[in-house]
């Protein structure tokens, strides 16, 4: 069975879904073994059920964000983080509805909101709920609130621990269902697993990263306000990756600081002795990349991602669609294919503002001599003598350039959310099979 899960992605994906659902409802299944306390009606029991499922969902979020390679390889980090956001919101709703039903069924319990005189179990529930509210608000509206990524990530971890830890403490102190020793042991085990995942993420993984350091070999200035950060492994062989994957980079600080950032590799997957990352200056960290000197120490956690041509060896060819810095993972696909002497056709449709802002412009042109590559540059603000494609990558333009036998190719899109949505819709209208369309987002948080 283990071998089957490892070698069949569909079976593995279904297996993880079943496991998630099982552990979500496990607390309720355990509660069914014994009858509920006497004198409690349906709505009160329903409130308790929502509380337990919400708490279980909250605890499972630590597993979703732990970057477990086997889980990530089944879905991709984009899908996992989208699922994490969705299930966190579902848990949030359940946690809020739980006390609201209680207050409706037993109005006298509203006095538990009087924090100074409330019992410890109620104080824990209040703090856990407030932590959860702040966590959700600062996540959904992080950009509007102008919260930098690094402080947000640290506060996100602290608030998550508070919400789950105090929520569990509340359930244990209430004791109506967890009074039996072995039921308390079940939730204790859930708490210990959650604690281990936190320790693994915050301590074990950073320690493992310190054993495989990298040094900045050079920083190359590219067109489009992009810097290519070239890293070389020190004292180890680095890691092989599939073209299109990404890694988390910690630069010039200890990995224990948890100040890491995800970037796609732009170099060949066949050369782990030198890893390159295309980084566009759009924020505090990315704007400083160009200033790092050769010899600066770096640490990597990776590779991650399923946005790669290597998963589709039977494809007749590939259509790569990029906008701006979205060229980075697609560039890795192209240079890897060139190194492997891949004879399949590649079509690159690359959207930029101007001719001078096209990142890797010269390198893309050079690749035409090594690959069966057709490169179509699309400019939004072309010069008067520009004779190529202009405007936006829409249905009409795609119909002009993609193969007529649409299902024989796989399509990889990396661009701004608006462009990806537009291109995905256009490909659907052009009868491209949905299974042949693959997306990669810029931001993971």
Same domain, 423 and 291: no
Per-residue pLDDT of the chain (445 residues; tens, 9 = 90+): 333 344 455 676 777 778 777 777 776 666 666 556 666 677 877 888 888 888 888 888 887 777 777 676 667 777 777 788 888 889 899 889 988 998 998 888 888 889 899 999 889 999 999 999 999 999 888 888 888 877 888 888 889 888 888 888 888 777 655 555 556 676 677 777 777 887 888 888 899 999 999 999 999 999 999 999 999 999 998 889 999 999 999 999 998 887 888 899 999 999 999 999 999 988 778 889 999 999 999 999 989 888 999 999 889 999 999 999 999 999 999 999 999 999 999 999 999 999 999 999 999 999 999 999 999 999 999 998 999 999 999 999 999 999 988 888 999 999 998 999 999 999 999 999 999 999 887 655 5
Same domain, 200 and 129: yes
Q: How far is CA 268 from the centre of its chain?
A: 23
In this predicted structure, what is the pLDDT of residue 444? 52
Residue span of the structural domain in which 278 resides: 214-304
Same domain, 26 and 174: yes
- Count of domains in the chain? 3
Same domain, 97 and 178: yes
Same domain, 327 and 369: yes
Segment 225-241, tens digit of pLDDT: 999 999 999 999 888 99
In a domain? residue 445: no
Give Cβ neighbours of residue 349 (< 8 Å, ≥ 6 apart).
319, 320, 321, 322, 376, 378, 393, 397, 398, 401
Same domain, 371 and 351: yes
Same domain, 204 and 219: no
In this predicted structure, what is the pLDDT of residue 197? 80
Same domain, 247 and 353: no
Same domain, 320 and 259: no
Segment 137-194, tens digit of pLDDT: 998 888 888 888 778 888 888 898 888 888 888 887 776 555 555 566 766 777 777 7
Same domain, 53 and 187: yes
pTM of the model: 0.78
Same domain, 268 and 373: no
Q: What is the mean pLDDT of the chain?
A: 86
Among the three residues 156, 181, 208, which one is the final residue of a domain in this structure? 208
């Amino acid at each position: 069975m283990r071998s089957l899960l490892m070698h069949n992605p569909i079976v593995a994906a279904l297996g993880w879904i079943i496991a998630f659902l099982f552990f979500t409802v496990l607390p309720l299944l355990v509660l069914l073994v014994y009858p509920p306390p006497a004198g409690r009606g349906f709505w009160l029991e329903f409130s308790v059920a929502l509380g337990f499922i919400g708490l279980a969902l909250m605890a499972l979020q630590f597993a979703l964000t732990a970057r477990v390679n086997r889980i990530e390889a089944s879905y991709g980090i984009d899908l996992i983080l989208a699922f994490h956001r969705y299930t966190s919101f579902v848990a949030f709703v359940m946690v809020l509805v739980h006390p609201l039903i209680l207050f409706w069924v037993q109005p006298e319990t509203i006095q538990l909101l009087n924090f100074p005189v409330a019992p410890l179990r109620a104080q824990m529930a209040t703090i856990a709920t407030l932590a959860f509210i702040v966590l959700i608000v600062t996540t959904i509206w992080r950009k509007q609130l102008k919260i930098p990524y690094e402080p947000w990530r640290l506060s996100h971890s602290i608030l998550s621990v508070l919400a789950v830890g105090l929520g569990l403490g509340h359930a244990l102190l209430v004791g109506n269902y967890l009074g039996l020793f072995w039921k308390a042991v079940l939730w204790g085990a859930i708490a210990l697993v959650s604690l281990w995942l936190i320790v693994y993420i915050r301590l074990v993984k950073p320690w493992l990263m310190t054993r495989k350091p990298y040094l900045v070999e050079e920083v190359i200035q590219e067109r489009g306000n992009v810097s290519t950060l070239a890293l070389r492994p020190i004292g180890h062989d680095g890691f092989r990756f599939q073209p299109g994957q990404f890694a988390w980079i910690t630069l010039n600080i200890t990995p224990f600081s948890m100040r890491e950032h995800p970037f796609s590799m732009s170099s060949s997957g066949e050369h782990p002795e030198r890893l390159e990352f295309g980084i566009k200056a759009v924020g505090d960290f990315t704007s400083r990349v160009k200033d790092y000197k050769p010899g600066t120490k770096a640490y990597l956690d990776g590779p991650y991602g399923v946005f790669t041509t290597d998963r589709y060896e039977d494809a007749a060819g590939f259509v790569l669609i990029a906008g701006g810095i979205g060229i980075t993972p697609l560039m890795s696909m192209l240079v890897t294919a060139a190194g492997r002497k891949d004879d399949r056709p590649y079509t690159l449709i690359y959207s930029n503002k101007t001719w001078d802002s096209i990142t890797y412009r010269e390198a893309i042109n050079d690749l035409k001599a090594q690959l069966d590559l057709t490169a179509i540059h699309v400019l939004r603000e072309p010069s008067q003598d520009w004779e190529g494609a202009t405007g936006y990558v829409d249905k009409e333009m795609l119909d002009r350039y993609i193969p007529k036998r649409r299902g024989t190719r796989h399509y990889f899109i990396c661009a701004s959310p608006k462009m990806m949505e537009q291109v995905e819709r256009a490909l659907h209208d052009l009868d491209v099979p949905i299974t042949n369309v693959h997306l990669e987002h810029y931001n993971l948080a």
